[in-house]
Amino acid sequence: MAKITAQMVKELRQATGAGILETKKALEASDGNFDKAVDLLREKGAARAAKRVGRDANEGLIKMYSHTGGRIGVMLELNCETDFVAKNETFLDLAHNVALQIAAMSPKYVSTEDVDKTELDRELDVLRSQALAEGKPEHIVEKIVAGRLSKFYEEVCLLEQGFVKDDSKKIKDLVTETISATGENIIIGRFARFEIGESKE
């Protein structure tokens, strides 16, 4: 069993935002392996975050963000449960990062549930036709379509997109981490993205 030092606990706390006891337990459970301890804490955080989903989130803020010298603007509504958390640095960081993501990646929807049914049906038809045109057997076409549909969701749905600063995480992972860190349910309410010249196209 590896000796767990105060420095190891400190470094893990800085990396994850977890409490002293939680980080010590994670290091003990992973025999001092930093990366495994991070994964353990992430899993626990996701489990705790899942319990908070569904609670009312009627506080929050409207984040205004301007990008590339004012050529792109974003307005984002990010909700939480209390005005206390709405002023919390972790929550404010999430608002900034999500607004940056919207500016850079131009999603159309917040989540997969928001995708317009007509657009989704059209996309499914196109993906099926492509798979059949490639000579794929009928019985595996649906599996291929499902795989390609997830790529479509990653393009158009904010929560499914890889984070522009770290594509090993999706935006939904950032939200989950912030829920875990703040102890409150957090919801991306809605957003609007504006780009100079866009309305003239």
* Range(s) of the domain holding residue 25: 6-52
Query: Residue 57 in contact with residue 81, Cβ under 8 Å?
Result: yes
| Cβ count near 51 (within 10 Å) | 10
- Residues 100, 19 within the same domain: no
Q: Is residue 147 part of a domain?
A: yes
- Residues 16, 107 within the same domain: no
Q: Is the pTM of this model over 0.75?
A: no
Query: Residue 100 in contact with residue 66, Cβ under 8 Å?
Result: no
Residue 101 pLDDT: 97
Q: Is residue 67 part of a domain?
A: yes
- Residues 95, 188 within the same domain: yes
Helical residues (DSSP H) of 30-170, grouped into ranges: 34-52, 83-86, 89-105, 117-133, 138-156
Domain count, the chain: 3
- Residues 96, 137 within the same domain: no
Q: What is the pLDDT of residues 120-172, one digit of tens each?
A: 999 999 998 888 888 888 878 888 888 889 999 999 999 999 999 999 999 99
- Residues 97, 172 within the same domain: yes
- Residues 126, 36 within the same domain: no
Q: Is residue 1 part of a domain?
A: no
Q: What is the pLDDT of residues 4-63, one digit of tens each?
A: 888 888 887 766 666 677 778 888 888 888 888 878 777 776 555 555 556 677 899 999
- The candidate with the shortest Cα–Cα distance to 94, out of 189, 192, 194, is 189
Structure tokens at 172: 């939904």
* 133: CATH: 1.10.286
- Residues 121, 26 within the same domain: no
